Amino acid sequence: MQIAVTFRHMEADERVKEYVREKVQRMKKFIENPREAHVVLAVEKFRYSAELTISRDGLTLNSEGRDRDLYAAIDQMADKMDRQIRERRDKGKRKRGNPLPVQTDISEKEGAETKEEGAGMSSLIRRRNIPAKPMSLEEAIAQLKLSGEDALFFINSHSGEMNALHRKNGGYEWMEPSPE
């Protein structure tokens, strides 16, 4: 990543440049494929401002910090950019959902089995609670591939109905309820 530092209305200082580069380099590991970063440091009367623009493939991130101290303005700028990057990353995680199925504790499974056996149910039936999340068919197929399970229950985001998807003969079988 190329880092350019521009000074406006003030003298260029190598220590400040190095401080800025260090702050920006730290963000590099959280951004995928950053191309360039441009930092503009300026002074207006008694207040310093630091502006950061990071560009990558089709995305531009901006942040600005203002303070009476130049280093404090740079820190503000870096903190704001960190927050933006974190929010974007977390937003992506929220959209993807939980890629791994939730596993119940063994003691809970055993407790459920003994309760069902006591109720007269066959000892061949084992109850397992599986959370069903809203997703499209494509997302369900991807989820099933990732999980390694044989079946997946999900709420179809298009119809709002409970659906099932399972592996069958090297392919998938999609089961969706319909009125008779």
Token representation of residue 156: 């179809």
pLDDT tens figures, 118-160:
555 566 787 777 778 888 888 888 888 888 888 888 888 888 8
Instruction: Write b or e for each residue in 106-145: b if 16 or more Cβ atoms lie within 10 A of its Cβ, otherwise e.
Output: eeeeeeeeeeeeeeeeeeeeeeeeeeeeebebeebeebbe
Q: What is the per-residue DSSP string for 32-59? A: SSEEEEEEEEEEETTEEEEEEEEEETTE
Instruction: Give the model's pLDDT for residue 18.
Output: 94
Band the pLDDT of 96: cuts 50, 70, 90: low
CA 24 from centroid of its chain's CA atoms: 21
Instruction: Delineate the domains of the chain, giving CATH numbers in brackets.
Output: 2-96 (3.30.160.100), 97-127 (no CATH), 130-180 (3.30.505.50)
What residue has token string 């530092």? 5
CA 85 from centroid of its chain's CA atoms: 10
DSSP annotation of 67: E
pLDDT tens figures, 49-81:
999 998 887 788 899 999 999 999 999 999 999
Instruction: Give the model's pLDDT for residue 17.
Output: 94
Band the pLDDT of 103: cuts 50, 70, 90: very low
- Asked whether the predicted pLDDT for residue 94 surpasses 80, the reply is no
Question: How much is the pTM?
Answer: 0.51
More confident residue, 90 or 162: 162
Choose the weakest-confidence range: 31-40, 105-114, 115-124, 151-160: 105-114
